[in-house]
Amino acid sequence: MQKVLVIKQVLVEGPGIIGMELLRLGLDMVVIEPYAGDSIPESLDGYGALILLGGPMSVYDESEFPYLTKELKLLALALKESVPVLGVCLGAQLLARAAGAKVYPGPVKEIGYYSVSVTDEGRDDTLMAGLSGELNVFQWHGDTFDLPEGATRIASSLAYKNQMFRVGSVAYGTQFHLEVTAEMVATWVESQRGEVESAGLDAEEILSASKGQLPFIHKNGAVIIKRFLELVGQ
């Protein structure tokens, strides 16, 4: 059975739909939690893919979270060895940094449900082919990044032009969350109401929007994740 290494950055941000798809496809998910003291491997031997989830810290907070440096080294190794990578939110920012791009605070926080546009190049991508040109997504971020040199921009939005990208042929980053469940959204919003309100947003509006938004996010997210996981072992 192929093993997929999942790096969980914080207690409340689990794999969600990613974990469900891994289970459905019969792949073995190995989750490590460096914030809780788990060691980050120096090699990807035995792993068919690397997935990095989101978290509230920033890529440039390495002095406070020194394990981020080890994650960057592991990402650089994955890029060198062409191991499939999926970086979500913070994971996407780490991938951009590992590929040589800058990561920095963005102009506005995005928290809640937004729309992103698939680019012309994105429509031809293996993960996105046949999906709608406009995707509903869930966001929770304040940082952004430059597109790494030679990378392909797959999705963008009015506020942030780099919402999804690909480095090489099998390393993907999504600024948005394609893995969220209703329970995850509720937990995040309830535990971080102060951050939501300080961004000028309404926590109750976000929660009430979940019923209408999440079915579309789940449908598209499952397709994208399934297609990514099909890269394992190729």
pLDDT band at 219 (very low <50, low <70, confident <90, very high): very high
In a domain, 18, yes or no: yes
Q: How does residue 2 score in pLDDT terms, banded at 50, 70 and 90?
A: confident
The tens digit of pLDDT for each residue in 159-218 reads: 999 999 999 999 999 999 999 999 999 999 999 999 999 999 999 999 999 999 999 999
pLDDT exceeds cutoff 80 at 47: yes
pLDDT of residue 233: 72
Asked whether residue 97 is assigned to any structural domain, the reply reads yes
Distances (CA, A) of 57 to 24, 25, 91, 114: 31, 31, 11, 22
Active-site positions read 89, 177, 179
100-158 pLDDT tens trace? 999 999 999 999 999 999 999 999 999 999 999 999 999 999 999 999 999 999 999 99
**Is residue 40 domain-resident?**
yes
Asked, for residue 13, whether it belongs to a domain, the answer is: yes
Gap between the Cα atoms of 48 and 134, Å rounded: 30
Residue 218, SS3 per DSSP: helix
Domain that holds residue 29: 3-229
Q: Answer yes or no: is 234 within a domain.
A: no
Provide the pLDDT for residue 68.
98
Q: Which two tokens stand for residue 69?
A: 């440096």
Find the distance separating the first CA and the last CA of the chain, reported in whole Å.
14
For helices 67-81 and 90-98, what crossing angle results, to 10°? 60
Residue 28 belongs to a domain = yes
pLDDT band (50, 70, 90) for residue 234? low
Q: The domain spanning residue 111 has which CATH number?
A: 3.40.50.880
What's the pTM? 0.96
Q: Where are the beta strands (DSSP E) in the chain?
A: 3-7, 28-32, 47-52, 85-88, 103-118, 134-145, 152-156, 164-167, 171-174
Q: How confident is the model at residue 1 (pLDDT cuts 50, 70, 90)?
A: low
Quick: pLDDT tens for 62-99. 999 999 999 999 999 999 999 999 999 999 999 999 99
Number of domains making up the chain:
1
Measured N-to-C along each axis, helices 203-229 and 17-24 cross at an angle, to the nearest 10 degrees, of: 30
